[in-house]
Chain A
């Protein structure tokens, strides 16, 4: 079945450490996105990519980095510059050639990151 796989489901980060969250999709979607969700709040866009080897900053890109070397993969690195990284991170994808994505996004099951 097609879908988006995020790993790991839970991740613990020490102060000053970089960590990378994985996001893989087999939906043949062009566009991929990373969102951050804090408890009781909505989703805020971190980065998005509409084609391979290209990505753009969202609302809260500071302290994060991404790469899009393959259509299927869009990993997110939470760097030590991100001072408050504890949150639920969601990866999504959509048919990038349909604007706007009337069928909405397909989301992964998320990674819960905690700083210890």
Chain B
């Protein structure tokens, strides 16, 4: 079976750093992606890690450890507009290499 776990909620203040973790158990693994979704909106792609290590894109970084079946999304210099839900998604051979999504983490950024 396929399962992904994320914390349901995270709260932080503006300017802070927050880490959202994702652990997964899947039949086969190609890579880990992160998506951001604002209330009522469409998910938007943030990052993709196929290899171990840290990928940095501006204020956002994503990390993967394949041996630990674990990854995280790191958001720095938090802004109010970062308040959203964040989903990790694993690409697997299941469903033609499609992504299986985690339950999502609701991030609230406080002033």
Contact = CB atoms under 8 A, between A and B. Distances in A.
Interface of A: 31, 33, 35, 40-45, 48, 50, 56, 58, 90, 99-110
B97 A43 contact: no
A56 to B, nearest CB: 7
Given A42-B103, A110-B42, A103 B48 contact: yes
**The 10 A-B residue pairs with the shortest CB-CB distance in the complex, in nearest-first order:** A104-B45, A100-B91, A107-B42, A100-B30, A43-B101, A42-B101, A99-B97, A100-B97, A42-B103, A102-B48
A107 B42 CA distance: 6
Contact of A90 (B42, B50, B95): B42
A45 B98 contact: yes
Contact of A108 (B4, B42, B50, B106): B42
B71 interface: no
Given A41-B103, A109-B41, 15 more contacts: A40-B106, A42-B4, A43-B43, A43-B101, A45-B95, A48-B95, A56-B95, A56-B96, A99-B96, A101-B97, A102-B50, A104-B99, A105-B45, A110-B40, A110-B42
B87 interface: yes
Nearest to B29: A100
8 contacts: A42-B4, A42-B104, A43-B43, A56-B95, A100-B30, A102-B31, A103-B48, A104-B33
B44 interface: yes
B35 interface: yes
Interface string B81-107: 000000100010001111111111010
A109 B97 contact: no
Contacts of B99: 100-101, 104-105
Contacts of A58: 95, 98
B95 A43 contact: no
A32 B43 CA distance: 15
Contacts of B41: 109-110
